C-alpha cells in the first residue's frame, strides 16, 4: 500500500463500558503523517455515516477534513468533532426545510392533476394551475379569468374528521363539490396531511 493512501487502525479501547460516549483511540494515516486520535464512539459512527452518504471510505473523509484544516490540524479530534456536528446540523436544516408546510405545499404546484391546500378553518390556502383550469371548465368558459377566492369548495367529510383520519393514516378520501356562481361540480378527492405534526393544512388531489 502506498504511503499516500489513508488508513485507520483500531487500537483496543480501555475497559470503560461500551457506549456512544466511550472514547476510542485510533491511528489515522494521511499522506506520510501518522497520528493518534481519541474520539467518542458516537463521532466515529457519525463520521462513518457521513462518509457512506458521500460514497467515501471513512478514512478518506477523515484525511480530506484534516488536510483541509492545514496548519490548524494539530487538534485533530476537535476538528473532526466540529466537522461532524456542522455537517449533521446542515443536513438537519435541509431536512427541516423539506418538511415545512411551505415546501410541501409548493410541491402540489407540480401535480399533474387539480390540487388544492385547505386549512382547519376551511379556507383554500393554495391551488395549482390544473385546479384553475378545472374552475374554467366549471364556469363553462375556458377563456374566463377565474379567481380562486370566489370559489366555494365543500368537502363532504367534516374537516376535523379528515384531520383525525390523517393522524392515523397516510391518506383519506372524501367527496367534494365546487360552486362557482350558479355552476357546480361534484367529484372525489384524495387528501394527505401537510407536516409538521399536528397538521394544520391538508392537500387534496382531485381524482374524479
Which domains, and CATH codes, for the chain?
7-98 (1.10.3990.20), 101-206 (3.30.450)
Specify the pTM: 0.57
Which residue is it, cell 364556469? 139
Q: When comparing pLDDT for 29 and 1, which is higher?
A: 29
Question: What is the average pLDDT across 93-118?
Answer: 78
Which residues lie across from 66 on neighbouring strands?
A: none
Cell triple for residue 114?
387539480
Q: Work out the pLDDT band at 81, boundaries 50, 70, 90.
A: very high
Cell triple for residue 41?
464512539
Residues of the chain with pLDDT > 90: what percent? Answer: 45
Q: Work out the pLDDT band at 3, boundaries 50, 70, 90.
A: very low
Give the Cα separation of 117 and 162 in Å (integer): 13
Cell triple for residue 145?
379569468
DSSP state of 94: H
Give the Cα separation of 70 and 24 in Å (integer): 24
Q: Residues 178-194: pLDDT tens digits?
A: 998 888 999 999 999 88
Cell triple for residue 149?
377566492
Q: Work out the pLDDT band at 12, boundaries 50, 70, 90.
A: very low
Which pLDDT does position 15 carry in this prediction? 42
Which pLDDT does position 85 carry in this prediction? 93
Q: Residues 138-189: pLDDT tens digits?
A: 888 777 777 766 788 999 999 999 999 999 999 999 999 999 888 899 999 9
Question: What is the average pLDDT across 22-34?
Answer: 84
Amino acid at each position: 500500500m502506498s504511503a499516500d493512501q489513508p488508513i485507520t487502525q483500531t487500537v483496543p479501547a480501555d475497559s470503560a463500558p461500551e457506549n456512544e460516549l466511550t472514547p476510542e483511540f485510533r491511528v489515522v494515516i494521511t499522506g506520510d503523517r501518522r497520528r493518534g486520535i481519541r474520539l467518542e464512539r458516537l463521532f466515529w459512527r457519525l463520521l462513518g455515516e457521513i462518509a457512506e452518504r458521500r460514497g467515501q471510505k471513512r478514512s478518506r473523509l477523515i484525511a480530506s477534513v484534516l488536510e483541509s484544516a492545514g496548519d490548524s490540524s494539530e487538534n485533530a479530534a476537535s476538528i473532526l468533532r466540529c466537522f461532524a456536528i456542522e455537517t449533521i446540523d446542515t443536513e438537519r436544516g435541509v431536512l427541516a426545510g423539506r418538511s415545512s408546510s411551505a415546501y410541501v405545499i409548493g410541491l402540489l404546484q407540480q401535480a399533474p392533476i387539480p390540487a388544492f391546500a385547505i386549512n382547519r378553518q376551511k379556507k383554500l390556502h393554495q391551488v395549482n394551475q390544473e385546479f384553475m383550469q378545472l374552475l374554467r371548465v366549471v364556469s363553462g368558459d375556458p377563456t374566463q379569468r377565474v379567481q380562486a377566492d370566489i370559489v366555494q369548495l365543500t368537502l363532504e367529510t367534516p374537516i376535523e374528521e379528515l384531520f383525525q383520519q390523517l393522524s392515523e393514516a397516510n391518506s383519506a378520501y372524501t367527496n367534494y363539490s365546487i360552486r362557482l356562481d350558479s355552476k357546480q361540480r361534484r367529484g372525489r378527492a384524495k387528501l394527505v396531511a401537510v407536516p409538521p405534526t399536528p397538521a394544520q393544512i391538508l392537500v387534496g388531489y382531485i381524482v374524479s
